[in-house]
Structure 1
Amino acid sequence: MNFGTIGAGVVAQAIAGHLVAAGHKVTLSNSRGPDTLLDVVTRLGPLASAATVEEAAAADMVFLAVMWPQVGDALAGLPPWGGRILVDTTNQLPRPPITADLGVETPSEFVASRAPGAHVVKAFNTLYAQYIAADPRHPEGRQLLFYAGDDTATKATFRDVAESLGFAAVDAGSLREGGRLMQIGGPLSGLHALKQD
C-alpha cells in the first residue's frame, strides 16, 4: 500500500514520519508545489517524496491535512477516487454546534461529499500534533487513536495501518455518530489517553 498527503504541515509530517519509519513510501503535497517540500522530504528520508496534489491523491490511502477553510479547494478537481481511502484529519473551526438533528452533516460528512467515490475515515483530529508526532508506544501503554467511517472494510484497513504504526486504534462508529464524538467540542476531542496492553 502506498500513501499520500494533501497538505504538508505539522500533522501531515507527523503521520508521514510514522509511515516512513514503518517502511512505507509516502508522497507529500501542498498547494504551493513540490519544490517547496524539498527540505521536508530530505528530513523524512528516501521513502518520502514530494509531488503535486493530484499525484499524491492517487495513493491507496491519502491523508487530508489542511486547515478547514482550505478543504474545498484542496479536494476540488481531483481525479475520481474509485474507492481509494481518504483519511480526514481536519477540524472545523469555528467548531460546529453539537446537535441531535440528523439533518445536520458533520465535518467528515462534508469532506466525504467533496470527495465522491472515496471511502472516508475520520482520524487523527482528536489528538494534538505533539501526540501524533511522538512515538505512540509508551512504557505505560499505546496512544489511543479514535477513528470513524461508514465502510467496514475501509475501517479495518485503516485500523491495521494505525496499529502497525503503534497506535491503539479505537472504532468510534460512523461518520455521523463517531464524527460528532470526535469533532471539536465532542467528548473525544483533545482526549490524550493510553491503552494498557
Structure 2
Amino acid sequence: MSYSIIGFGAVGQALARAFARKNIDVTVASRRPPEMLMQQAQAIGPTVVPRTLQDAIASDTIFLAVPFWEHREVAKQITTWHGKTIIDATNTNAPVEDLDGQPSSAVVARAFTGARFVKGFNHLSAAVLAADPGVNGGSRVVFLSSDDENAVAPVAVLAEQLGFAPIALGPLKDGGSLVQARGNTWGKLIFKDLVRFK
C-alpha cells in the first residue's frame, strides 16, 4: 500500500509528522516543485519524500490537504480515480449557497470520479494533528465518514497504525456535516480534541 499527501502546508505537514512518527513511507507533493519541499520534509523525517503531483497521484491512498477549491485542480489530473482512496482533510470558508447546501465533503467527493472517498482527519487543528496522538494512555480521536462503507475500514486501519482512534460517523450528509468548518456554520464536532481510552 502506498500513501501520499497532496498539499504541504500546515495540515499536510501535520499528517506527514504522523507518518514519520511511525516510520511509514509517504510521498508529499504540492503546487511547488519537489525540491522546494525538501528542507521541510527532511526536518520531519526520512520517510517523508517530496515528489511531483503526478507521482503523488500514483499512490493507492491519497490525503487531500490543499486549500478547499484547489481540490478541483487535483481532480482534473486524471480522468478516473477508480481503485484509489481519497481522504479529504480539507475545510472551507465557502458560504453554504456556494456548495448547493451540501456538506463540503460531498462537493469534493463529486470531483473524484470512481474513488473510494472518506472525509477524515480534518476536524483537528494542524497543531493538534501534528502532536503525538498518544495522550495519557489513550489515543486521540479522528472522525471518518463516507457514503461507501467499504472505504472506511481500511482508512480506520491506517488511522490506528498512525496512533489515532478512528470513529466512523456514517455517510457524508450526516458525518460530513458534523465535522465541517464551513463559513460561519461549524459542525458540532469541529475542533473537538477527544481522546479514547481502551
TM-score normalised to the size of structure 2? 0.90
1:31-83 Cα distance to aligned partner (Å, 9 max, x none): 12212111122123332211111210111110000111322223222353222
CA distance in 1, matches of 2:150, 2:69: 30
Pick from 134, 137, 143 the counterpart of residue 137 of structure 1: 134
CA distance in 1, matches of 2:24, 2:137: 27
1:90 aligns with 2:87: no
- Counterpart contact for 1:54–1:79, Cα < 8 Å: no
- 2:188 partner amino acid: P
- 1:55 partner amino acid: D
- 2:28 partner amino acid: L
Unaligned stretches of 5+ residues in structure 2: none
Which residue does the alignment assign to 2:76? 76
Which residue does the alignment assign to 2:107? 110
Which residue does the alignment assign to 2:155? 158
- Counterpart contact for 2:27–2:50, Cα < 8 Å: yes
- Counterpart contact for 1:126–1:183, Cα < 8 Å: yes
Structure 1 vs Structure 2 CA RMSD: 1.7
Q: Per the alignment, in what secondary structure is the counterpart of residue 147 of structure 1?
A: strand
- Counterpart contact for 1:34–1:52, Cα < 8 Å: yes
TM-score normalised to the size of structure 1? 0.90
CA distance in 1, matches of 2:176, 2:92: 11
Q: Per the alignment, in what secondary structure is the counterpart of residue 49 of structure 1?
A: strand
- 1:61 partner amino acid: T
State how 1:169-184 maps to structure 2 within 5 Å. 169-184=166-181
CA distance in 1, matches of 2:54, 2:113: 15
TM-aligned CA deviation for residue 20 of structure 1: 2.5
- Counterpart contact for 1:5–1:57, Cα < 8 Å: no
List, as ranges, runs of 4+ consecutive aligned residues in structure 1 with deviation greater than 6 Å. Answer: none
- 1:191 partner amino acid: K
Unaligned stretches of 5+ residues in structure 1: 98-102
- Counterpart contact for 1:140–1:194, Cα < 8 Å: no
State how 1:1-197 maps to structure 2 within 5 Å. 1-78=1-78, 80-94=80-94, 96=96, 104-139=101-136, 141-184=138-181, 185-197=186-198
Of 66-75 and 126-135, more deviation after overlay is shown by: 66-75
- 2:41 partner amino acid: V
CA distance in 2, matches of 1:22, 1:5: 16
- Counterpart contact for 2:64–2:87, Cα < 8 Å: yes
- Counterpart contact for 2:37–2:50, Cα < 8 Å: yes
